[in-house]
A and B are shown apart, each in its own frame.
Chain A
Amino acid sequence: MEPSNDQYRLLVETAPTLVWRSGLDAKCDYFNGTWLEFTGRTMEQELGEGWLEGVHPDDRQRCLDVYLGSFAARRPFEMEYRLRRHDGMHRWISDRGVPFHAQDEFGGFIGSCVDVHERREADQARTTFLSMLTHELRTPLQTLILCDQHLEALARSARPVPLDVAQRLGRQVERLRALLDRAARGIDISRGVAPELQLADVDLVELVARVVESRRQRPRAGVALELRYEGPTGTPGAVCVDGSQLVQVLDALLDNAFGFSPEGGTVVVGLAFEPATVRITVEDEGMGVPPMELSRVGTPFFRASNVSPRRHAGLGLGFAVAREIVHAHGGTLELGPRSPRRGTSAVIALPRSGWFGGAAS
């Protein structure tokens, strides 16, 4: 038995896709319930060309050109544009429109749209990641090429190799190794593979002091910053952790804190022992993460929208890797605004003993 008109109508009204229809004048004369729910607007507001108000201003002209061009040619179209959702957020949607006919006469267009925002963002993140990865690879390669040519010139004239040139070469090899390790960890996270831990009793006071001191030895190029430690100094604070991975976590958080700090800013590393938890904090005075994006920091390859790729190179992996390591310890790593002052606060909370989320078994 063929479905009745009522059944078709019910199907269109409740479908997960956003459906629209236009008449012979190319103006829209129908939107389904899913569309109206998505945009949070009334049918009256959307009718005619009202729906265009919800299209992102940067996409509006292109959207209209594709639609009217296809309408004039009576040819199907498929396009992606950003449409404002009821909460004000512009989401990427894919819109497919086809001409329809009633009694063999062209009657207008009917279209259906799906939300493809996550896919678009993943595509963007992948492009950004590949761009940053090649940038990060080219930089040490540049030093290697220059040093190599310099060494060759020295060898030809039988002059000795200065120690600093050899050391610089070694540093580039180490940079490339660390870069590949980090990228590999990012791929592991994307595949849901948890890091393996080598647990031992580690003196956290000593470990944090060591990381802070090592960072003081290699300040960020071009920017004067103060690095301060706030916490116990003499008392041993042994906790069962993977020491070398925890160093990686702190290094990643300090990379971010230093990378985004303004000139003359202060970065504070804090350590506090509570009855059941050890808390390590890294606070900076940088621009912070937009509140809407906080939940997405930690997604591999994600970079906040206020990070200018022209000032900050990076893979968008440091925090994601750090969080995975802390989670494998049965702990948490949260990022939030630093209050009451400007900046970001990263807080690691590790259990002082006992459960390790299965990672230790």
Chain B
Amino acid sequence: MKRVLLVDDDPDVLESLELVLSFSWEVRTALDGRRALAVLDTEPVDVAVVDLIMPVMDGEALVAAMRARGLAVPVIIASATPELAERARGLHVFAWLAKPFTVQALERCLMAALG
């Protein structure tokens, strides 16, 4: 089973994502960028789904920190703020997924990220 890291500061969104993905994925979750880095320090993941607006360490800072550590994990940005899409493009992430999205859209994106 492939391992996915979900990063979102909204516990309800995070738990719902975990719920729908847990049948076919090994799921790890983090409520902000710093906690996500702690997960990445302990075990490898195949793909990460990252929210942008988060306290402590936002999505942009997390992606930058992952790059700085040489982690080549494909990142899918899942955000409810389309105004930030342009900015996110500069991060060179694998994909942008606009919230709200369906389970099918997320799964398609995850599969594509795995190549």
Q: Chain A residues in contact with chain B, CB under 8 A?
A: 131, 134-135, 138-147, 149-150, 164-165, 168, 171-172, 220-223, 259, 263, 308-313
Contact = CB atoms under 8 A, between A and B. Distances in A.
B80 interface: yes
Contact of A146 (B19, B35, B54): B19
Given A142-B13, A142-B99, A142-B101, A311 B53 contact: yes
Contact of A310 (B10, B12, B31, B53): B53
Contacts, number: 87
Contact of B58 (A138, A145, A171, A310): A310
B6 to A, nearest CB: 11
B53 to A, nearest CB: 5
8 contacts: A131-B83, A141-B100, A150-B19, A164-B15, A172-B12, A222-B54, A263-B56, A312-B55
B11 A310 contact: no
Contact of B16 (A134, A147, A223): A147
A309 B55 contact: no
B90 to A, nearest CB: 13
Interface in B49-100: 52-56, 58-60, 80-81, 83-84, 99-100
Given A143-B10, A221-B31, 9 more contacts: A135-B53, A138-B100, A142-B80, A144-B100, A145-B102, A146-B19, A149-B103, A168-B12, A221-B11
Given A142-B80, A149-B20, A311 B13 contact: no
Contact of A149 (B54, B56, B102): B102
B15 A311 contact: no
Given A139-B80, A142-B80, A222-B32, A165 B19 contact: yes
Which are the 5 A-B pairs with shortest beta-carbon distances?
Answer: A222-B31, A138-B80, A146-B16, A142-B100, A222-B32
Nearest to B52: A310
Given A135-B53, A221-B31, A222-B35, A171 B12 contact: yes
Contacts of A135: 53, 80-81
Nearest to A138: B80
A227 B17 CA distance: 30
B54 to A, nearest CB: 7
B46 interface: no
A146 B15 CA distance: 10
Contacts of B35: 222
Nearest to A175: B12
A171 B15 CA distance: 13
A313 B51 CA distance: 12
A126 B11 CA distance: 28
B9 A222 contact: yes
Nearest to A136: B80
B35 to A, nearest CB: 6
